[in-house]
Structure 1
Amino acid sequence: MDRKHIIWKHISEHRFPYVFGFALLSISCAMQLVIPMLLGTFTDQLERSELTYEHALTIAMWMALAGLGVAILRSSSRIYLFRLSRLLDMRIRNDLFKHWETLSTQYFKNRRVGDLMSHAISDVSVIREVTQSGVFQTMEAGVLISITVVTMATSIDPLLTLFTLLPLPLLSVLAYRFRQRIQKESANVQEAIGDLTSRVQEFVAGIRVVKAFVQEREQNQLFRKDNEHAVSMNRKLVRSNSMFGALSAAVVGISFLVSVVLGGIMVLRGRITLGDFVAFNSYLSLLMGPIENLGKVVNTMQRGKASENRLLAILNTRPDVADDSAADRSITAIAGDIEIRNLSFRYPEAHEATLSDISLNVPKGSSLAIVGRVGSGKSTLVHLLVRLYNPPKGTVFIDGRDIHEIPLQVLRANVGIVPQDQFLFSTTIKDNIGFDPKPYRDEEIEQAAKVAQVYDNIIEFPNQFQTALGERGISLSGGQRQRVSIARAIIKKPSILIFDDSLSAVDTETEDRILSGLNGVMEERTTIIIGHRISSVQAADQIVVLDEGAIVERGTHESLLERNGLYADLYHKQLLDEAVELHKHEWESEQPEQGEVRSATSGGKAG
């Protein structure tokens, strides 16, 4: 789609269908002129007492035929032209969604879901309205006004036509004066709709937190505030539209007044006949509808311009992460040998570096574990490995090639990542595990679920793998979502496996089973594990400890414990926490039930 124009690009590409629709509409407009002409003839014959039953019947028949022809042709042209607007509607949404898929995560990080939904629904609907009613009414007004004015001037009286139409150019002045005002207020309405949609989306996503903290009243007040703001913005737009419509109607009323006064004088002086007067006012009545519609078209066009600008701002946004001239299209697969050289990285909105002077070497088929405190840069490092953000050139290499040389599609197709948020789609469990362009057999999906230790949970559901999940997989527990995410990553059989704190929501027993099942999967695959639990990372070939974006320790589990540094502190703290939790559990299990305490107490008193 043209990145400068949307509406006119569409009309230009479909110019021949639009010409055909315009031809149908032009014939319809021409046929409308037959009725005023027949009314004038009828009036003149009636005034001269020349009207016979046969003449009246003939005139009525021709008027009926003209009306039927106008109805058929006008409806056909509307259907034809409106169908073209629906094609644009579908095309914009497809292009918009496709373009969103190319944009980087940074773009979505800085925008609300409600605003994006407003673009895809409300703005696109306004654009459709422009190419639907706007184009149709503009065509109709242009044709009908032109042929009607010519007919009025040539068949009745040019002077009467001139004076009657003299006030109408004021409509252009009004349209110009209201243009920027309506465009600005229309943009405000769209933004208010985005705020309202974001509020609803946020409420639905956080409904459990809202109820847990008894925030229903506060959320209702916030929604009411956004709702009132949206209503206020719409009222301003309606007020401007109404004012423009009222002033336009006043201008049209002046034209009618001139027609009645001046036309009446001409009839009395014998310059035109009574039939001409009736026909002239009938012609003028035909003009009033299209002329008033021009005012609506101006409003629609200005709203469309505001929406088009908003959509173009998206479509003209270039992705921060994309294949550039350095990409080598001959690369179709990667083996998994990773090298990082003096990597430093800062997020666009951050003032300080998130990672500083990171150097690593992860040979193909080996495993790397990354541990550290919250905010130390662990997830950032793996995000750079799959280019969710762009690392500086010359810092990250895979198979000896700069990561910028590897096409994005190839890179991400050969990396299986289990992210922290364990996002699942609101489809079946089977579709979530097999979320890949490549189709998978049921046996492969079941095997991946078994390795991820979620198979037994799935078969307990009534529909098993065909169980439909709620939004974001809300119908599963946190641990089940994590394990489905693990199954989704390993079924790809990628060259590089990345687990970003993927076992935090499962108990230690399940964690041991998952790690045991992953041993076979991790063979001959480069594996990176980010974890807070030392138990999930201690078997890695090498372990690095991040602190404030820098590597402060590296080695194996045993060597790091011997250093007695940050890794050892984390390890001993976790051992202490586990011991306290175990002691608490044993103490609770030894306590008698409340009923048993009562029985013992009652027994003692009775004795």
Structure 2
Amino acid sequence: MRNASIFREHFLLHKWSYLLGSILLSISLILQLWVPMLLKEFTDGLQNESIKVSELWGLALWFTILGIGTFLFRSSGRIYIFRMSRILERDLRTQLFSHWEKMQAEYYQNQRIGNLMAHAVNDVNILRQVGMQGFFQMVEAAVLITIAVILMAGTINLYLTLLVLLPLPGLTYIAYRFRTKIQTHSLKVQEAIGTLTSRVQEFCAGISVIKTYVQEEEETLKFAKENKSNVEVNKQLIRSNSLFTSLSQGIIGLSYLLSIVVGSILVMKGTITLGDFVAFNTYLSMLIGPIENIGKVINLLQQGKAADYRIRHVLSTEPEIKDEERVLPLTFIKGNIKIKNLSFKYQLNKEYALRNINVSIPKGTSLAIVGKVGSGKSTLVNLLLRLYNPPKNTIYIDQHEIRDVPLKTLRSSIAYVPQDNFLFSETIKENIAFDPKSYQDEQIFHAARQAHIYDDIMDCPEQFSTELGERGLSLSGGQRQRVSIARALIKPSPIMIFDDSLSAVDSKTEANILRTLRTEMKSRTSIIISHRISTIQDADQIIVMDNGEIVERGTHLTLLKENGIYKKMYDQQTTELTLVQSKFPSIHERKILIKRRRG
């Protein structure tokens, strides 16, 4: 984990801006501390009946000048310091987001979305408050208390000043005693917020399943439990804060009591003047706010320390998938793929997901992969994309070990249609043109026509400018698949991967899309994963996977002759299609049955 605190690094980077803000704030405080001197002069003048009307106007002018000056310098200092805290907030969120982009897919499988959101929102906000209110109040307290105490002791009465300040070291002791407790409670609060956010996010994402299975009451009870836990840890923090604040105010009240009682006695004895008494208590009243703020700042610093620990823990987590130190200076690849003796298992699993996989895919040829769910098809694709790291010397791209190929070069050379057909909450046009390279409208329209989604898009309210809902759920499953295919087709990549990307479209649309894909795949290396034989039967080579192993390989015709798993799948699908055609002769009825079977 990083040793230096986040705020310390930020402060050192912007030290001159913080220094300027501190100087401007200090000037405003010095101007403010002149007010008790003017009050002393005014009070003594009234008591001695020696003040003149012209002097009153002069004092009024000075009060006005000091007020305006205090306002201008304080506002300027506040702007500089608060601006730096907003820069900290901006840079830290950017740093977090950039770091998350580098993390491997497995990292997110082991994280709750709510916790990640809590880091980016709540933890960052706390550190912003440290840089904003925390730093501002620390400077204010240090400057105001130091100068005010010097003026109180040097110009009014040293004995009274020492007596009044005597209880104040108790604040330091109380702060020390509460330091660990407040930090612990703050950490629990932030963790509770992350858990609660995760619960809400999971509820929103799974609302359809919750309603379908009539689990509203059960989910409400779960949320109530998490919400109660959140309230309890907040209560603990509030109790600690309240007790700390009350004790601090009690100490400050004792100092003020000593000032009133002892100061009054000194006035009656003639040791100090009434003006000195007024000025002294004005100084003390100015000190009360900053001294109280010391406790708040200490409290905030403990919360900041907990937030700082959580964020540093995230930023210190190194991505497992990154460019090797001696990565090759490759900017493009041709598309030759070779997999040699590949065996792979996930970190948390004991069993291998893939066993002894050997396959060669020359440039411009197509490989089809079939097999039941969990046979390792998607795992193989994820390794080719390096969403997970394959063992060394098992996957080669253009005769280069895949880890020697820069990640940017590798992934920009692959057009990928994932199984979940994820779309972003943006326009359809932006989803199709989701690539670092910019595309003309005609290129986007052409890709949509190739994916046979163009007519559907033109029926949308805003056509290609239609804003999609979260994850593209405003479109049907088949429409999402075809938009994802258009996104892959527009990308001029030497390798194309389709992971069960036609499962939600009808047979007629599938045939039209396949006709387009055959044209596109002539010049590209293609990998197609599908449960439908009709989708993959024209591939140059087909492999059948079962339990992480290749159990059959060949072309469509040779595999049919082997009378193995592939032949059984083909016979079963052919029989189902024949039954559907005989029982439901209309296309509409067939579509309904097929959807029911898939649902």
Q: Do the two structures share a fold, i.e. TM-score over 0.5?
A: yes
Query: Match of 2:368, SS?
Result: strand
Contact 1:2–1:9 under 8 Å retained in 2: no
Hey, what's the Cα distance between the residues in 2 that align with 1:119 and 1:327?
33
**Deviations, residues 517-573 of structure 1 (Å, cap 9, x unaligned):** 111100021111111111111111111111111111111112112111122222222
Counterpart residue number, 1:215:
215
Shift of the alpha carbon at 1:589? Answer: 9.5
**Deviations, residues 92-142 of structure 1 (Å, cap 9, x unaligned):** 111111111111111111112222111111111111111001100000000
Counterpart residue number, 1:577:
576
Contact 2:36–2:283 under 8 Å retained in 1: yes
Contact 1:4–1:312 under 8 Å retained in 2: no
Q: Which ranges of structure 1 fall in alignment gaps of 5 or more residues? A: 591-607
Shift of the alpha carbon at 1:235? Answer: 2.4
Hey, what's the Cα distance between the residues in 2 that align with 1:464 and 1:44?
81
Contact 2:2–2:312 under 8 Å retained in 1: no
Counterpart residue number, 1:60:
60
Opposite residue 12 of structure 1, the aligned amino acid is L
Aligned CA distance change for structure 1 residues 9 and 451 (closer, same or farther; 3 Å): same
Query: Match of 1:351, SS?
Result: coil
What is the correspondence of 1:339-350 to structure 2 with a 5 Å cutoff? 339-350=338-349
What is the correspondence of 1:354-433 to structure 2 with a 5 Å cutoff? 354-433=353-432
Contact 1:326–1:404 under 8 Å retained in 2: no
Opposite residue 249 of structure 1, the aligned amino acid is Q
Query: Match of 1:387, SS?
Result: coil
Shift of the alpha carbon at 1:367? Answer: 0.8
1:159 matches 2:153: no
CA RMSD, Structure 1 to Structure 2 (Å): 1.9
Hey, what's the Cα distance between the residues in 2 that align with 1:161 and 1:4?
39
**Deviations, residues 218-276 of structure 1 (Å, cap 9, x unaligned):** 33333333333323322222221111111100110111122223223322333222221
Query: Match of 1:368, SS?
Result: strand
1:474 matches 2:473: yes
Counterpart residue number, 1:104:
104
Query: Match of 1:512, SS?
Result: helix
Hey, what's the Cα distance between the residues in 1 that align with 2:70 and 2:430?
53
1:336 matches 2:338: no
Aligned CA distance change for structure 1 residues 587 and 398 (closer, same or farther; 3 Å): closer
Hey, what's the Cα distance between the residues in 2 that align with 1:414 and 1:72?
58
Counterpart residue number, 1:240:
240
Hey, what's the Cα distance between the residues in 1 that align with 2:261 and 2:69?
33
1:443 matches 2:446: no
Counterpart residue number, 1:595:
none
Counterpart residue number, 1:603:
none
Opposite residue 500 of structure 1, the aligned amino acid is D
Query: Match of 1:108, SS?
Result: helix
Hey, what's the Cα distance between the residues in 1 that align with 2:259 and 2:462?
76
Opposite residue 529 of structure 1, the aligned amino acid is I
Shift of the alpha carbon at 1:511? Answer: 1.2
Hey, what's the Cα distance between the residues in 1 that align with 2:364 and 2:266?
100
Contact 1:335–1:399 under 8 Å retained in 2: yes
Opposite residue 427 of structure 1, the aligned amino acid is E
Shift of the alpha carbon at 1:147? Answer: 0.4
Opposite residue 106 of structure 2, the aligned amino acid is Q
1:561 matches 2:545: no
Hey, what's the Cα distance between the residues in 2 that align with 1:187 and 1:2?
18
Opposite residue 72 of structure 1, the aligned amino acid is L
Query: Match of 2:550, SS?
Result: strand
What is the correspondence of 1:48-87 to structure 2 with a 5 Å cutoff? 48-87=48-87
**Deviations, residues 147-187 of structure 1 (Å, cap 9, x unaligned):** 01111111111121112101111111111111121112112
What is the correspondence of 1:256-275 to structure 2 with a 5 Å cutoff? 256-275=256-275
1:228 matches 2:218: no
> Which deviates the most, 9-18 or 568-577?
568-577
Contact 1:117–1:194 under 8 Å retained in 2: yes
Counterpart residue number, 1:547:
546
Hey, what's the Cα distance between the residues in 2 that align with 1:15 and 1:587?
76
Query: Match of 1:327, SS?
Result: coil
**Deviations, residues 472-524 of structure 1 (Å, cap 9, x unaligned):** 11111101111111111111121111111111111122111111111110002
Opposite residue 16 of structure 2, the aligned amino acid is F
Contact 1:3–1:315 under 8 Å retained in 2: no
Contact 2:104–2:387 under 8 Å retained in 1: yes
**Deviations, residues 315-348 of structure 1 (Å, cap 9, x unaligned):** 111111000123102x111111111110011111
Counterpart residue number, 1:521:
520
> Which deviates the most, 435-444 or 69-78?
69-78
Hey, what's the Cα distance between the residues in 2 that align with 1:322 and 1:589?
49
What is the correspondence of 1:275-290 to structure 2 with a 5 Å cutoff? 275-290=275-290
Hey, what's the Cα distance between the residues in 2 that align with 1:285 and 1:455?
73
Query: Match of 2:460, SS?
Result: coil
Contact 2:425–2:467 under 8 Å retained in 1: yes
Shift of the alpha carbon at 1:588? Answer: 12
Hey, what's the Cα distance between the residues in 2 that align with 1:517 and 1:51?
99
Counterpart residue number, 2:23:
23
Aligned CA distance change for structure 1 residues 587 and 410 (closer, same or farther; 3 Å): closer
Hey, what's the Cα distance between the residues in 1 that align with 2:283 and 2:455?
79
Contact 2:2–2:316 under 8 Å retained in 1: no
Shift of the alpha carbon at 1:579? Answer: 3.1
Counterpart residue number, 2:594:
none
> Which deviates the most, 579-588 or 53-62?
579-588
Counterpart residue number, 2:131:
131
Counterpart residue number, 1:192:
192
Hey, what's the Cα distance between the residues in 2 that align with 1:452 and 1:314?
40
Counterpart residue number, 2:38:
38
Counterpart residue number, 1:168:
168
Counterpart residue number, 1:599:
none
Counterpart residue number, 2:254:
254
**Deviations, residues 343-388 of structure 1 (Å, cap 9, x unaligned):** 0111111111111111111111111111111101100001000100
Q: Which ranges of structure 2 fall in alignment gaps of 5 or more residues? A: 590-599
Shift of the alpha carbon at 1:206? Answer: 2.1
Contact 2:24–2:73 under 8 Å retained in 1: yes
Hey, what's the Cα distance between the residues in 1 that align with 2:67 and 2:498?
72
Query: Match of 1:389, SS?
Result: coil
Aligned CA distance change for structure 1 residues 135 and 533 (closer, same or farther; 3 Å): same
Opposite residue 121 of structure 1, the aligned amino acid is V
> Which deviates the most, 56-65 or 581-590?
581-590
> Which deviates the most, 109-118 or 48-57?
48-57
Provide the TM-score with structure 1 as the length reference.
0.94
Query: Match of 2:360, SS?
Result: strand
Opposite residue 232 of structure 1, the aligned amino acid is E
Counterpart residue number, 1:602:
none
1:434 matches 2:428: no
Shift of the alpha carbon at 1:462? Answer: 3.0
Hey, what's the Cα distance between the residues in 2 that align with 1:306 and 1:143?
28
Hey, what's the Cα distance between the residues in 1 that align with 2:301 and 2:237?
14
**Deviations, residues 281-311 of structure 1 (Å, cap 9, x unaligned):** 1111111110001111111111111111111
Hey, what's the Cα distance between the residues in 1 that align with 2:3 and 2:430?
35
Aligned CA distance change for structure 1 residues 74 and 415 (closer, same or farther; 3 Å): same
Counterpart residue number, 1:147:
147
> Which deviates the most, 577-586 or 355-364?
577-586
Shift of the alpha carbon at 1:203? Answer: 2.1
Opposite residue 372 of structure 1, the aligned amino acid is G
Shift of the alpha carbon at 1:83? Answer: 1.2
Hey, what's the Cα distance between the residues in 2 that align with 1:522 and 1:18?
59
Contact 1:152–1:280 under 8 Å retained in 2: yes
> Which deviates the most, 202-211 or 55-64?
55-64
Counterpart residue number, 2:596:
none
Instruction: Tell me how many residue pairs correspond in the alignment.
Output: 589
Counterpart residue number, 1:316:
316
Contact 1:34–1:63 under 8 Å retained in 2: no
Opposite residue 385 of structure 1, the aligned amino acid is L
Query: Match of 1:341, SS?
Result: strand
Opposite residue 20 of structure 1, the aligned amino acid is L
1:352 matches 2:351: yes
Contact 1:433–1:491 under 8 Å retained in 2: yes
Provide the TM-score with structure 2 as the length reference.
0.95
Hey, what's the Cα distance between the residues in 1 that align with 2:94 and 2:488?
28
Shift of the alpha carbon at 1:195? Answer: 1.9
Shift of the alpha carbon at 1:582? Answer: 3.2
